[in-house]
Amino acid sequence: MWGRNVYDSISKFLQFQLTVNIVAVIVAFTGACITQDSPLKAVQMLWVNLIMDTFASLALATEPPTEALLLRKPYGRNKPLISRTMMKNILGHAVYQLTLIFTLLFVGEKLGQTRCSAHQQLGR
């Protein structure tokens, strides 16, 4: 029961970390190529990794094992650590996060100015 719980916690941690790191690398690289300046500086990337590593490890390492873990079949020795379902989840969440971040990065200023520009037109 404890072994299966540890395996599940490692899998969840990897899925979370890979998603966050894929998004951070793509945002830094693409942002640097398009805007000629990285949206995330080196210190900011370090803080993102520090915060994400700390909270993810605390959240995933404190999950207690349950009796339901014993109801499923054990994984074989040749089962990959990152399954096909995990890869789909990682890529799906990464695409969602990238869409949101790039929208905020490239269109966010225009979205935030809609109300301000209306006030400027009225002379307020």
CB neighbourhood size of 31 (10 A): 18
Alpha-carbon distance of 49 to 25, in angstroms, equals 11
For 8-12, 60-64, 103-107, 119-123, which range has the lowest pLDDT when averaged over its residues?
119-123
Name the pTM for this structure. Answer: 0.74
Output phi, psi for 99, to 5 deg: -60, -45
Q: Report yes or no: 28 and 40 within 8 Å, Cβ to Cβ.
A: yes
Q: Token pair for residue 82?
A: 């990152």
* Per-residue pLDDT tens digits for 81-115: 888 999 999 999 999 999 998 898 888 777 766 55
Domain layout of the chain by residue ranges: 1-82, 83-123
